[in-house]
Amino acid sequence: MAKLTVKDVDLKGKKVLVRVDFNVPLKDGVITNDNRISAALPTIKYIIEQGGRAVLFSHLGRVKEEADKEGKSLAPVAKDLAAKLGQDVVFPGVTRGAELEEAINALEDGQVLLVENTRFEDVDGKKESKNDAELGQYWASLGDGIFVNDAFGTAHRAHASNVGISANVEKAVAGFLLENEIAYIQEAVETPERPFIAILGGSKVSDKIGVIENLLEKADKVLIGGGMTYTFLKAQGIEIGNSLVEEDKLDIAKELLEKADGKLILPVDSKEANAFADYTEVRDTDGEAVSEGFLGLDIGPKSIAKFEEALEGAKTVVWNGPMGVFENPDFQAGTIGVMDAIVKQPGVKSIIGGGDSAAAAINLGRADKFSWISTGGGASMELLEGKVLPGLDALTEK
């Protein structure tokens, strides 16, 4: 990576501004999944071990008006982080003002402070989300000229807490998590060890048109599963019953199939049910067609075998999007089958592009079998599409 990293700067005695991604799920004020907090620990620990004073920024959820602040405070995160670090985390509970400034200025080497939810600034004119110049300057003024971006999950957005701060400091550098995300995902796509197989699932073709186009140029094969399967099948005149379909994307699906020249591999059967919920019948289809009155909710056993064959000998695999409605045990066999086929390839570099795929790997007990699981669904999608991420682009060149 041609950007400076946290190891390239002197941190001792400095108030170091750090963008982390603590956008964790909360239920009744309790964190239900703290993976994102754990993922930020290496960078935070490195800063404080080097004698830096870490000032952390993160958003939590979406905040458009005052009422949206309810239940969105980072107070539970500060408590969880303190337990993980084994030391106090200062939490003034504000995003600006004298109280915050005094707390930051009172920090000693090796201490940590967490600023309140950056999205609270969106209540008054979307200042955070629209990269308000004054807000970026103000937050940058709270530190000593060093900004560490370790929030891959928001790197595809130009916000005041990443791009805004970067523009107003002497050095903006990548943290360990951001550095690893780029190394695994971007390098896998740009300089893969071959065979390079991409697997794309999820519900909509429209969400992944750019990704499919880019990966058809870069990968040796692109396997398609999930709900978007049925738009591709209908585009070929195959009956899909009541399955999910994007009628306005049928022409694009046809074009992608023609452009693929055999690289695009589709399922050859489905697990179908007579309703999405409260169904009374679940069965495997004989072939690609879905029965009238039924809808496809997972790839079938023949497709699992076909995908397993396509993955044989793969050295690089990037997977984004489940093969079916994996949250339901009746429709998770496809996702499990593909995951197992990926990780059993000898010496494979296996990367999950965040979002539902990451949740599937974690929930189905296979997370530790993959080389890398991304913390950013949207950001990883844009990297797979070949786009420049504003949060990364704003960092200081080496």
Cβ neighbourhood burial of 190 (10 Å; 0-12, 13-18, 19+): exposed
22 is in an annotated binding site: yes
Asked whether residue 36 is marked as a ligand-binding residue, the answer is yes
> How far apart, in whole angstroms, are the C-alpha atoms of residue 322 and residue 385?
18
Distance of CA 15 to the CA centre of its chain: 28
Task: Detail the DSSP E strand segments found in the chain.
Answer: 15-19, 26-27, 30-31, 53-57, 89-90, 112-114, 146-149, 171-174, 196-200, 221-224, 264-265, 270-273, 282-284, 295-299, 316-320, 349-352, 372-373
23 annotated ligand binder: yes
- Catalytic residue from among 334, 355, 376, 391: 355
Q: Was 61 annotated as part of a binding site? A: yes
Q: Is 356 annotated as ligand-binding?
A: yes
Q: What are the DSSP calls for 147-192, one per residue?
A: EEE--GGGTTS--IIIIIHHTTSSEEEE-HHHHHHIIIIIHHHHSP
Please, are residues 180 and 300 in contact by the beta-carbon 8 Å criterion? no
Tell me if 355 is assigned to a ligand binding site: yes
CA Rg, the chain, in Å? 23
Torsion over CA: 231, 354, 264, 341 (sign): negative
Whole-number Å distance between alpha carbons of 161 and 182: 20
| CA angle in degrees (0–180, nearest 5) for 220-221-222 | 135
Is 62 marked as binding a ligand? Answer: yes
User: 355 an active-site residue?
Assistant: yes
Catalytic status, residue 377: no
| Spatial separation of the C-alpha atoms in residues 117 and 180, rounded to whole Å | 25
Residue type, 364: L
354 marked as binding residue = yes
Please indicate if the annotation marks 274 as binding a ligand: no
End-to-end CA distance of the chain: 9
Q: With both helix axes pointing from N to C terminus, report the angle between 75-85 and 35-49 in degrees, rounded to the nearest 10.
A: 60
Half-sphere exposure of 33 (CA within 13 A, CB side): 11
Instruction: For residue 251, give both structure tokens.
Output: 């022409």
State yes or no: 132 annotated in a binding site.
no
The active-site residue, picked from 15, 19, 36, 271, is 36
Task: Specify whether the CB–CB gap between 139 and 165 falls below 8 A.
Answer: yes
Among 61, 55, 47, which residue's Cα sits nearest to residue 78? 55
**Parallel, antiparallel, or unpaired for β 30-31 and 26-27?**
antiparallel
Q: Which of 72, 79, 204, 302 is catalytic?
A: 204
Active site residue 79: no
251 is in an annotated binding site: no
Catalytic residue among 136, 324, 376, 378: 378
- Would you call 36 a catalytic residue per the annotation? yes
Q: Which residues are annotated as a binding site?
A: 21-23, 36, 59-62, 119, 157, 208, 296, 327, 354-357
Q: Which residues are annotated as a binding site for ATP?
A: 208, 296, 327, 354-357
Q: Which residues are annotated as a binding site for substrate?
A: 21-23, 36, 59-62, 119, 157
Active site residues: 36, 204, 355, 378
